[in-house]
Chain A
Amino acid sequence: MTHKGMSRRELLGAAIAPLFVSGLTREIAAADIPQHIQALIVEATGGVTPSRGKVKLTLPAIAESGNSVPLKLQVDSPMTAESYVRSIHIFSARNPRPVIARFHLGPQSGRAEVNTRIRLAGTQEVFALAIMSDASAWLGSTGVVVTAAACTDEKQEQQRNDPTPRT
């Protein structure tokens, strides 16, 4: 049931994280991207640091339930044999499983655009990573507010101040 690459990702994360972080601070605010997403990005790009741009990720600014949120991905690319999008990866900052989907394209795609519907477990940032035929990598992201999650969000119940032991 586990997807292959999980342990490989952990390994990669450990080995490449320092490289990645220094690259990030040059081009993207590392603080914007959670650690576990950074590790997934590194694994996908094979260590190449992504730049911001070229990737347009369209999601509604606000979704009611997070059960089915329409997503449009567009990558700026001529999609010719010389220059095309090889793959697009979608990551969620807060879902229990951070990888949402990976799409594999080629020059015959003609246009680097994919539409789908995703699940979001609460308000969060969604990331889209495009890897080009020249191995360059581009990152886009957008935030979605999920209103229903707020209802049951354990916006921490007042912590009891009494010392009585409990779980």
Chain B
Amino acid sequence: MANARIQVPASLSQGEVFEVRVLIRHPMETGLRHNDIGQLIPQNVIHLLTCRYNGVEVFRAELFPGVAANPYVSFFTTAVASGELEVSWTDDGGQTGTERASVMVLPRS
């Protein structure tokens, strides 16, 4: 896995509710651990994660240190049109990341 992975179903039919699974590589440093000489390692977690579907925000998560390292989040959204899912995130250190996945939405038969 590079930095992140998004999993969506291979193909969807119009109006179908589907699951989006996101896994991001990130230590989610709690701010409670100490380094080798006993100093607190500053908190650094992904605090915001958003998903835009063809540019429209369909999901937003505020995450805190209580979320496990290499955060995994799954949520649901409705297949409105073919296009792109874009998951973006920001951590306490100001680092940002983005991962994209295509969605293919077939008309309902």
Contacts and interface: CB of A to CB of B under 8 A. Distances in A.
Interface residues of B, number: 34
Interface string B14-46: 000111010000000011100000000011000
Given A99-B64, A104-B61, A106-B58, A116 B31 contact: no
Contacts of A113: 19, 75-76
Contacts, number: 97
Nearest to A112: B76
Nearest to A92: B66
Given A97-B66, A101-B63, A102-B62, A110 B77 contact: yes
B78 to A, nearest CB: 4
B17 A110 contact: yes
Contacts of B74: 114-116
A101 B77 contact: no
A1 B19 CA distance: 32
B104 to A, nearest CB: 17
A1 B42 contact: yes
A100 interface: yes
Interface in A79-121: 90, 92, 95-97, 99-106, 108-120
A95 B68 contact: no
B92 interface: yes
B72 A117 contact: yes
A101 B66 contact: yes
B75 A3 contact: no
Contacts of A96: 30, 32, 65
8 contacts: A92-B66, A105-B75, A109-B59, A114-B73, A116-B72, A118-B67, A119-B65, A119-B66
Closest 10 CB pairs of A and B: A110-B17, A100-B66, A68-B68, A111-B76, A117-B68, A104-B60, A115-B74, A110-B78, A102-B62, A116-B73
